[in-house]
Amino acid sequence: MSRFVNVAIGQLGPIAKQETRAQVVHRLSALMLQAHQMGCDLIVFPELALTTFFPRWYIEDVAELNAYYERAMPGPETQGLFDLSRKLGIGFYIGYGELAVEEGRTRRYNTSIIVDKGGQIVGKYRKVHLPGHEAHEPWRAFQHLEKRYFEAGKDFPVFEAFGGKFGMAICNDRRWTETYREMGVQGVEMILIGYNTPVHNPPAPEHDDLSLFHNQLVMQAGAYQNGTWVVGVAKAGIEEGVDQIGGSCIVAPSGEIVASCTTKGDELALARCDLDLCNSFKETTFNFDLHRQPDAYSRIVARKGPGLMADGSPVPPPGPKTDDRA
Protein backbone atom coordinates (compact mmCIF):
# COMPACT_ATOMS: atom_id res chain seq x y z
CA MET A 1 0.00 0.00 0.00
CA SER A 2 1.41 3.38 -1.02
CA ARG A 3 2.31 5.94 1.63
CA PHE A 4 1.12 9.37 0.52
CA VAL A 5 1.90 12.63 2.31
CA ASN A 6 0.12 15.73 1.05
CA VAL A 7 2.72 18.46 1.44
CA ALA A 8 2.27 22.24 1.29
CA ILE A 9 5.03 24.74 0.69
CA GLY A 10 4.35 27.60 3.13
CA GLN A 11 6.45 30.29 1.47
CA LEU A 12 6.66 33.67 3.22
CA GLY A 13 7.16 37.12 1.79
CA PRO A 14 9.32 39.67 3.62
CA ILE A 15 9.10 40.12 7.38
CA ALA A 16 9.77 43.72 8.42
CA LYS A 17 12.09 44.48 11.32
CA GLN A 18 9.26 45.99 13.34
CA GLU A 19 6.84 43.12 12.67
CA THR A 20 5.87 41.34 15.88
CA ARG A 21 5.85 37.59 16.58
CA ALA A 22 2.06 37.77 16.88
CA GLN A 23 1.78 39.28 13.39
CA VAL A 24 4.05 36.64 11.90
CA VAL A 25 2.24 33.78 13.66
CA HIS A 26 -1.01 35.17 12.25
CA ARG A 27 0.46 34.90 8.73
CA LEU A 28 1.73 31.39 9.40
CA SER A 29 -1.65 30.37 10.79
CA ALA A 30 -3.44 31.70 7.70
CA LEU A 31 -1.23 29.57 5.46
CA MET A 32 -1.72 26.54 7.71
CA LEU A 33 -5.49 26.94 7.58
CA GLN A 34 -5.43 27.15 3.77
CA ALA A 35 -3.19 24.05 3.60
CA HIS A 36 -5.62 22.15 5.84
CA GLN A 37 -8.57 23.19 3.64
CA MET A 38 -6.67 21.73 0.68
CA GLY A 39 -6.21 18.38 2.42
CA CYS A 40 -2.56 18.67 3.39
CA ASP A 41 -0.87 16.57 6.07
CA LEU A 42 2.17 18.80 6.42
CA ILE A 43 3.10 22.44 5.76
CA VAL A 44 6.75 23.51 5.49
CA PHE A 45 7.77 27.04 6.54
CA PRO A 46 11.13 28.81 5.96
CA GLU A 47 14.31 29.25 7.97
CA LEU A 48 14.09 31.87 10.77
CA ALA A 49 10.40 32.13 9.96
CA LEU A 50 9.36 34.13 13.04
CA THR A 51 11.48 37.26 12.48
CA THR A 52 13.22 39.29 9.85
CA PHE A 53 16.61 37.84 8.83
CA PHE A 54 18.60 39.55 11.57
CA PRO A 55 22.13 38.28 10.64
CA ARG A 56 22.21 41.02 8.00
CA TRP A 57 22.97 43.53 10.81
CA TYR A 58 25.95 43.88 13.15
CA ILE A 59 24.28 43.98 16.59
CA GLU A 60 26.37 44.77 19.66
CA ASP A 61 23.57 45.08 22.23
CA VAL A 62 22.99 41.61 23.72
CA ALA A 63 19.40 42.33 24.73
CA GLU A 64 18.56 43.50 21.22
CA LEU A 65 20.18 40.40 19.75
CA ASN A 66 18.48 37.99 22.16
CA ALA A 67 15.07 39.35 21.21
CA TYR A 68 15.37 37.52 17.88
CA TYR A 69 15.72 34.08 19.54
CA GLU A 70 13.20 31.67 21.08
CA ARG A 71 13.91 30.55 24.65
CA ALA A 72 11.28 27.80 24.47
CA MET A 73 9.40 26.08 21.70
CA PRO A 74 6.51 26.38 21.88
CA GLY A 75 6.64 29.64 23.79
CA PRO A 76 3.96 32.14 24.72
CA GLU A 77 4.00 33.76 21.28
CA THR A 78 4.16 30.54 19.26
CA GLN A 79 1.80 28.34 21.28
CA GLY A 80 -1.11 29.34 19.07
CA LEU A 81 0.53 27.76 16.01
CA PHE A 82 0.90 24.46 17.86
CA ASP A 83 -2.68 24.67 19.09
CA LEU A 84 -3.91 25.24 15.53
CA SER A 85 -1.80 22.33 14.29
CA ARG A 86 -3.42 20.03 16.84
CA LYS A 87 -6.93 21.38 16.16
CA LEU A 88 -6.62 20.96 12.38
CA GLY A 89 -4.62 17.73 12.45
CA ILE A 90 -1.82 19.09 10.26
CA GLY A 91 1.91 18.93 10.96
CA PHE A 92 4.56 21.53 10.20
CA TYR A 93 8.27 22.30 9.86
CA ILE A 94 9.55 25.69 10.99
CA GLY A 95 12.93 27.36 11.43
CA TYR A 96 13.81 29.78 14.24
CA GLY A 97 16.68 31.21 16.27
CA GLU A 98 17.15 29.10 19.41
CA LEU A 99 18.55 30.43 22.67
CA ALA A 100 19.55 27.47 24.85
CA VAL A 101 21.31 27.14 28.17
CA GLU A 102 23.59 24.09 27.93
CA GLU A 103 26.45 23.06 30.21
CA GLY A 104 25.97 26.23 32.21
CA ARG A 105 26.27 28.70 29.35
CA THR A 106 24.02 30.39 26.84
CA ARG A 107 24.24 29.03 23.31
CA ARG A 108 22.59 30.16 20.09
CA TYR A 109 21.59 27.98 17.17
CA ASN A 110 19.82 28.29 13.84
CA THR A 111 17.25 25.57 14.47
CA SER A 112 14.31 23.81 12.85
CA ILE A 113 11.72 21.35 14.12
CA ILE A 114 9.18 18.89 12.75
CA VAL A 115 5.80 18.93 14.50
CA ASP A 116 3.34 16.07 13.98
CA LYS A 117 -0.42 16.25 13.41
CA GLY A 118 -1.00 16.25 17.15
CA GLY A 119 1.00 19.44 17.64
CA GLN A 120 3.95 17.55 19.19
CA ILE A 121 7.60 18.11 18.31
CA VAL A 122 8.99 14.87 16.85
CA GLY A 123 12.32 16.10 15.50
CA LYS A 124 14.84 18.90 16.03
CA TYR A 125 17.81 19.97 13.93
CA ARG A 126 20.53 22.60 14.30
CA LYS A 127 22.12 24.09 11.18
CA VAL A 128 25.55 22.67 10.45
CA HIS A 129 26.89 24.71 7.52
CA LEU A 130 26.92 28.30 8.74
CA PRO A 131 27.71 30.72 5.89
CA GLY A 132 28.96 34.27 5.96
CA HIS A 133 31.43 35.80 8.40
CA GLU A 134 31.98 36.59 12.08
CA ALA A 135 33.76 39.96 12.04
CA HIS A 136 32.09 43.33 11.37
CA GLU A 137 32.39 44.02 7.61
CA PRO A 138 30.72 47.41 7.07
CA TRP A 139 31.88 47.58 3.44
CA ARG A 140 29.07 45.18 2.52
CA ALA A 141 25.71 46.50 1.33
CA PHE A 142 24.36 44.12 3.99
CA GLN A 143 26.14 41.65 6.23
CA HIS A 144 25.74 37.92 6.77
CA LEU A 145 26.81 37.29 10.35
CA GLU A 146 25.61 33.73 10.95
CA LYS A 147 29.08 32.69 12.10
CA ARG A 148 28.82 35.39 14.79
CA TYR A 149 25.26 34.73 15.93
CA PHE A 150 25.07 30.92 15.82
CA GLU A 151 27.02 27.84 16.80
CA ALA A 152 27.18 25.02 14.28
CA GLY A 153 25.14 21.87 14.77
CA LYS A 154 26.86 18.50 14.84
CA ASP A 155 24.56 15.98 13.20
CA PHE A 156 21.95 15.23 10.52
CA PRO A 157 19.42 13.03 12.34
CA VAL A 158 16.47 11.29 10.67
CA PHE A 159 13.09 10.94 12.38
CA GLU A 160 10.04 8.73 12.03
CA ALA A 161 7.14 11.00 11.06
CA PHE A 162 4.08 10.99 8.77
CA GLY A 163 4.56 7.29 8.06
CA GLY A 164 8.12 7.64 6.78
CA LYS A 165 11.68 8.75 7.50
CA PHE A 166 12.11 12.52 7.57
CA GLY A 167 15.17 14.72 7.85
CA MET A 168 15.88 18.44 7.96
CA ALA A 169 18.40 20.95 6.69
CA ILE A 170 18.58 24.73 6.72
CA CYS A 171 19.52 27.11 3.89
CA ASN A 172 23.27 26.79 3.18
CA ASP A 173 23.15 23.10 4.18
CA ARG A 174 21.36 22.42 0.89
CA ARG A 175 24.48 23.31 -1.08
CA TRP A 176 26.62 20.56 0.49
CA THR A 177 26.49 17.00 -0.78
CA GLU A 178 27.32 15.67 2.68
CA THR A 179 24.02 17.01 3.99
CA TYR A 180 21.96 14.73 1.76
CA ARG A 181 24.27 11.72 1.98
CA GLU A 182 24.35 11.78 5.79
CA MET A 183 20.57 11.40 5.77
CA GLY A 184 20.58 9.20 2.68
CA VAL A 185 22.58 6.45 4.39
CA GLN A 186 19.92 6.48 7.13
CA GLY A 187 17.22 5.78 4.54
CA VAL A 188 15.64 9.25 4.55
CA GLU A 189 12.52 9.60 2.41
CA MET A 190 11.80 13.33 2.69
CA ILE A 191 14.13 16.24 3.58
CA LEU A 192 12.59 19.55 4.64
CA ILE A 193 14.67 22.69 4.01
CA GLY A 194 13.88 26.30 4.86
CA TYR A 195 16.02 29.14 3.52
CA ASN A 196 16.63 32.92 3.33
CA THR A 197 18.88 33.50 0.32
CA PRO A 198 19.77 36.97 -0.99
CA VAL A 199 19.94 37.51 -4.72
CA HIS A 200 23.17 39.50 -4.28
CA ASN A 201 26.33 37.81 -3.00
CA PRO A 202 28.70 40.64 -1.96
CA PRO A 203 31.95 38.58 -2.13
CA ALA A 204 30.99 37.07 -5.53
CA PRO A 205 28.51 39.31 -7.40
CA GLU A 206 29.19 37.36 -10.58
CA HIS A 207 27.04 34.61 -9.04
CA ASP A 208 23.95 36.81 -8.65
CA ASP A 209 22.31 35.80 -11.92
CA LEU A 210 22.74 32.13 -10.98
CA SER A 211 21.00 32.27 -7.59
CA LEU A 212 17.78 30.53 -8.62
CA PHE A 213 19.58 28.04 -10.87
CA HIS A 214 21.92 26.99 -8.06
CA ASN A 215 19.00 26.76 -5.63
CA GLN A 216 17.22 24.21 -7.80
CA LEU A 217 20.40 22.45 -8.94
CA VAL A 218 21.53 21.37 -5.48
CA MET A 219 18.11 20.25 -4.28
CA GLN A 220 17.38 18.29 -7.44
CA ALA A 221 20.79 16.60 -7.29
CA GLY A 222 20.40 15.82 -3.58
CA ALA A 223 16.97 14.31 -4.16
CA TYR A 224 18.00 12.10 -7.07
CA GLN A 225 21.36 10.97 -5.67
CA ASN A 226 19.73 9.84 -2.43
CA GLY A 227 16.35 8.65 -3.69
CA THR A 228 14.44 11.10 -1.51
CA TRP A 229 11.85 13.84 -1.68
CA VAL A 230 13.20 17.33 -0.99
CA VAL A 231 11.02 20.28 0.00
CA GLY A 232 12.71 23.69 -0.17
CA VAL A 233 10.87 26.74 1.16
CA ALA A 234 11.95 30.38 0.96
CA LYS A 235 11.35 33.58 2.82
CA ALA A 236 11.42 35.73 -0.28
CA GLY A 237 11.07 39.25 -1.62
CA ILE A 238 12.62 42.57 -0.65
CA GLU A 239 13.09 42.42 3.13
CA GLU A 240 14.57 45.53 4.77
CA GLY A 241 16.12 46.52 1.44
CA VAL A 242 17.58 43.08 0.66
CA ASP A 243 16.13 41.17 -2.30
CA GLN A 244 15.76 37.48 -1.44
CA ILE A 245 15.13 34.72 -3.95
CA GLY A 246 11.95 32.67 -4.00
CA GLY A 247 12.09 29.45 -5.94
CA SER A 248 10.32 27.36 -3.30
CA CYS A 249 9.72 23.88 -4.70
CA ILE A 250 9.07 20.22 -4.04
CA VAL A 251 11.47 17.79 -5.73
CA ALA A 252 10.66 14.12 -6.33
CA PRO A 253 13.21 11.30 -5.81
CA SER A 254 13.64 11.35 -9.59
CA GLY A 255 15.08 14.87 -9.33
CA GLU A 256 12.02 16.36 -11.03
CA ILE A 257 10.32 19.46 -9.63
CA VAL A 258 6.66 18.58 -9.08
CA ALA A 259 5.41 21.80 -7.43
CA SER A 260 6.74 25.34 -7.11
CA CYS A 261 5.79 28.85 -6.06
CA THR A 262 5.55 31.63 -8.64
CA THR A 263 5.66 34.76 -6.45
CA LYS A 264 7.90 36.25 -3.76
CA GLY A 265 5.10 36.64 -1.24
CA ASP A 266 3.11 34.48 1.15
CA GLU A 267 2.09 31.57 -1.08
CA LEU A 268 1.14 27.91 -1.03
CA ALA A 269 2.14 25.21 -3.51
CA LEU A 270 1.05 21.61 -3.05
CA ALA A 271 2.11 18.10 -4.00
CA ARG A 272 0.86 14.61 -3.22
CA CYS A 273 4.09 12.84 -2.33
CA ASP A 274 4.29 9.05 -2.48
CA LEU A 275 7.09 8.03 -0.11
CA ASP A 276 7.26 4.65 -1.83
CA LEU A 277 8.45 6.42 -4.98
CA CYS A 278 11.82 6.48 -3.23
CA ASN A 279 12.10 2.71 -3.41
CA SER A 280 12.93 2.30 -7.10
CA PHE A 281 15.94 4.60 -6.67
CA LYS A 282 17.07 3.22 -3.32
CA GLU A 283 16.84 -0.37 -4.58
CA THR A 284 18.60 0.10 -7.94
CA THR A 285 21.00 2.90 -8.97
CA PHE A 286 21.43 4.20 -5.42
CA ASN A 287 21.32 0.94 -3.50
CA PHE A 288 23.92 2.10 -0.99
CA ASP A 289 24.36 -1.26 0.72
CA LEU A 290 25.18 -2.83 -2.63
CA HIS A 291 27.16 -0.12 -4.42
CA ARG A 292 28.79 2.36 -2.01
CA GLN A 293 32.52 1.99 -1.32
CA PRO A 294 33.18 3.80 1.99
CA ASP A 295 36.81 2.65 2.13
CA ALA A 296 37.50 4.83 -0.90
CA TYR A 297 36.05 7.96 0.71
CA SER A 298 38.41 8.39 3.69
CA ARG A 299 39.55 11.87 2.65
CA ILE A 300 35.99 13.20 3.06
CA VAL A 301 36.19 12.91 6.85
CA ALA A 302 39.99 13.09 7.25
CA ARG A 303 40.28 16.46 5.49
CA LYS A 304 38.42 19.72 5.87
CA GLY A 305 39.58 20.80 2.41
CA PRO A 306 42.63 20.96 0.13
CA GLY A 307 44.77 22.72 2.75
CA LEU A 308 43.52 21.56 6.15
CA MET A 309 42.94 18.28 7.91
CA ALA A 310 39.73 17.79 9.89
CA ASP A 311 41.50 18.84 13.12
CA GLY A 312 42.66 22.12 11.53
CA SER A 313 46.27 21.07 10.96
CA PRO A 314 47.84 21.53 7.51
CA VAL A 315 47.56 18.72 4.99
CA PRO A 316 50.97 17.00 5.02
CA PRO A 317 52.93 17.09 1.77
CA PRO A 318 53.01 13.89 -0.26
CA GLY A 319 55.78 11.47 0.60
CA PRO A 320 58.84 11.00 -1.59
CA LYS A 321 58.27 9.24 -4.86
CA THR A 322 59.92 5.86 -5.25
CA ASP A 323 61.08 4.14 -8.41
CA ASP A 324 59.92 0.53 -8.32
CA ARG A 325 61.44 -0.42 -11.64
CA ALA A 326 63.72 -3.45 -11.54
Shortest CA distance to 76 belongs to which of 118, 133, 25, 29?
A: 25
Sequence-separated (6 or more) residues with CB below 8 Å from residue 128 = 152, 153, 154, 155, 156, 173, 179
**Consecutive H or E run containing 83:** helix 79-88
Task: Say if residues 133 and 93 touch (Cβ distance below 8 Å).
Answer: no
Asked about 171 being catalytic, the answer comes back as yes
Instruction: With beta carbons less than 8 A apart as the criterion, state whether 133 and 144 touch.
Output: yes
Counts for the chain of helices (H) and strands (E), in that order: 9, 15
- The catalytically annotated residue of 40, 146, 165, 171 is 171
- 239 catalytic? Reply is no
Active-site residue, 127 included = yes
Q: Which of 40, 98, 127, 273 is catalytic?
A: 127
How many whole angstroms separate alpha carbon 128 and alpha carbon 148? 14
Catalytic residue among 40, 47, 264, 267: 47
Q: What are phi and psi of 29, to 5 degrees?
A: -65, -40
Catalytic residue set: 47, 127, 171
